[in-house]
Structure 1
Amino acid sequence: SSSFQTSIIKKSLRNQNIDSETSLFSLAPQRTRKIHQATSGGGGVTSTLISQLAIVALKLRLADQAAVKCNVNGSSTDLLMRGSVGPVTVSGRKWQSPLGLTCRAIEATVQNCQLDMGAIVSRRKLVLNVPAEGDAMIAMNDADFGSFITHPLMKPPSPPSNANAEAIKFLNEGVKVDAETGTVTFYGLYMNERWRCELRRGGSNEKGAIIQVTHASDDSEFSAVASELTSTVSDFFNEMVFELDGTFLSFRDMMVTDRSKVPIVMLSLSITVKKFPSPG
């Protein structure tokens, strides 16, 4: 797992408010902040047009949102000759997907986008010629994290020893983001029993995230099962690839902060964008 640059994050959060208009994340390399809105390519395609098309598509696709922004950087030569722009940063607040996935804030940056210029000119549609790779940060409160672990596309794991391949079922009630302990507590059902899952950031010699699973009633009879669930769920969270409307997300790192009205868990993710969200 890559370093989360905790000191940089704390500095960026010092005067930030997740519920404000100010961007939550100031972590991307400074070159991504140099916005050349006048960049122009063939057929009258400009970086401004690309940004506008991305914002329109996202707003139409999202079930709800409080803000959607898109900064497109790049040179006119790259856009004209190769249909290439980048970095491209999309950010927003209080997003909700059609299937109920929510967040307090999000910022995602891809370093390079190879665009189909013909599709932009003829259909006013953003089409990638090759997948774009980058990183994202998502800020979630209790309810947001609950919507994440119970999302219809989330496929929880089954411990290897389970002959019937029974998977643990995550629950959206009882989620607690605790800034004091740096943990996110949530619950799951497995073998007709209720289990407590405590997510925390892994240490320097550990995985990116550790999820300690214990029986909800602290019943020692289930210690062996709890140990296996701890390993299974931790591996699942660290290795999962979550696909959302053409964007593939994988876990990198996390931190919990109280620099908001409520405690927030911030997830650092690697992203691969295979297609832009469609407004249809």
Structure 2
Amino acid sequence: MALKRRLSDPNSHVECDLTSIDPNKILFGGQVGPVTVKGRSWKSPLGLTCRAITATVTECQLDMGKVISKQKLVLNTPALGSAMVALSDTDFGNFITHPLMKPPSPPQLTNKNSINGNINADKNKLLFLRENVSLDPSSGIVTFYGTYAGSKWKFMLQRNTNISDTNEDKASIHASLVKEEEGSIIQDVDAIEKALTKTTSKFFNEMDLELDGTFLSFNDMQLTEKGDEPSVMISLRIKVIKFPSPGLEF
């Protein structure tokens, strides 16, 4: 119920499955779990949405002294688990533009042949765009857009099929120029495309979101045609240091 109250859509569905309940383990050892939370049609107050989510934490070690004295769930050790999130094209657009998602800062290209020197500092920031996201399960590609250096860029995200001992990245991104804005002269498109490709790929593979003590990191991805519309399935690792505060909005 606490989680459902945080969601802004009254039609959001939340289901919690608490298994292996042993009163003695809870009382004397503070052991609870596994705990699985499932949801459908989630929408948070800050606009984070998803078609479906399943998150499981294998075991929680509660500090029963503090639970009793402070009437608050406190962990003795971090709880580990995993989650699978299904996102539509609209959900993905909401995800990459959510306040928690701070786009990476591409390397500053100082070579005079790279970017016209008149571009101001704000335009040198990479900003992802919510609109025009597309999911193509047949190719396994998520296409989205962003602005950088006064121009619009296309990003094509897909599961990395070339994983090796020297490249363990699960996702890869290719960036390409779509449109230059008026007054913006980019002289070395190839250099910027390579820089954006490298930094956005690194950003997704090393993504680590924090929800007030709960950390979510990228693990894997795939696209599917199941359901009413295509979805991108994102696998996440979970590490809970502490439970989010009651008033937290995300």
Q: If the TM-score is normalised by the length of the shorter chain, which range does it land in?
A: 0.7 to 0.9
Provide the residue aligned with 1:8 in structure 2.
none
Q: 1:130 aligns with which of 62, 69, 77?
A: 77
1:57 corresponds to which letter in structure 2?
Answer: A
For 1:124 and 1:102, the matched residues in 2 are separated by: 31
Q: CA deviation at 1:190?
A: 0.2
Unpaired runs of at least 5, structure 2: 111-120, 181-185
2:61 equivalent to 1:61: no
User: Structure 2 vs 1, CA of residues 78 and 251 (structure 1 numbering), >3 Å: closer, same or farther?
Assistant: same
Question: 158-167 or 94-103, which moves further after superposition?
Answer: 158-167
Contact 1:58 1:279 in 2 (8 A): no
Aligned position for 1:227: 194
User: Is the 8 Å Cα contact of residues 57 and 278 (structure 1) preserved in structure 2?
Assistant: no
Q: CA RMSD in A?
A: 2.2
Cα shift at 1:92: 0.6
Contact 2:12 2:43 (C-alpha < 8 Å) held by counterparts: no
Aligned to 1:160: 107
- In structure 2, what residue type is equivalent to 1:212? H
Q: Partner amino acid for 1:96? A: K
Query: Which is richer in helix?
Result: 1
Aligned: 1:175 with 2:133: yes
- Residue 186 of structure 1: how far off its partner (Å): 0.4
Distance 1:258 1:187 in 2: 22
CA deviation profile, 1:57-77 (whole Å, cap 9, x unmatched):
101222225211111123333
Matches within 5 A, 1:1-280: 56-64=1-9, 65-74=11-20, 75-118=22-65, 120-121=67-68, 125-162=72-109, 166-205=124-163, 206=167, 207-217=169-179, 221-280=188-247
| Deviating 4+ runs (over 6 angstroms) | none
Residue by residue over 1:214-249, the C-alpha shift from the partner in whole angstroms, topping out at 9 and shown as x without a partner, is: 111499951221011101100011012111243211
Deviations 1:14-39 (A, max 9, x none): xxxxxxxxxxxxxxxxxxxxxxxxxx
Q: Following TM superposition, by how much is the alpha carbon of 1:133 offset from its aligned partner in structure 2, in angstroms?
A: 1.1
**SS of equivalent residue, structure 1 residue 230:** helix
Quick one: distance in 2 between partners of 1:92 and 1:259?
17
Deviation of the 1:182 alpha carbon: 0.9
Greater CA drift, 92-101 or 263-272: 92-101
Shift of 1:86: 1.6
In structure 2, the partner of 1:26 is none
TM-score (norm: length of structure 2): 0.82
SS at match of 1:147: helix
Ranges in structure 1 where 5+ consecutive residues have no aligned partner: 1-55
TM-score (norm. length: structure 1): 0.74
CA distance in 1, matches of 2:12, 2:133: 24
- Aligned letter for 1:168? L
Contact 1:93–1:103 at 8 Å: present in 2 too?
A: yes
Return the alpha-carbon distance in structure 2 between the equivalents of residues 159 and 268 of structure 1.
25
Contact 1:61 1:278 in 2 (8 A): no
Q: What SS does the corresponding residue of 1:172 show, helix, strand or coil?
A: coil
Once the 2 structures are TM-superposed, how far is the Cα of residue 158 of structure 1 from its aligned partner?
Answer: 1.2
The answer on whether the counterparts of 1:149 and 1:170 sit within 8 Å (CA) in structure 2 is: yes
Q: Which amino acid aligns with 2:8?
A: A
Could you report, residue by residue, the CA deviation over 1:188-219 in whole angstroms, capped at 9, with x for unpaired residues? 00000000000000014251100110111499
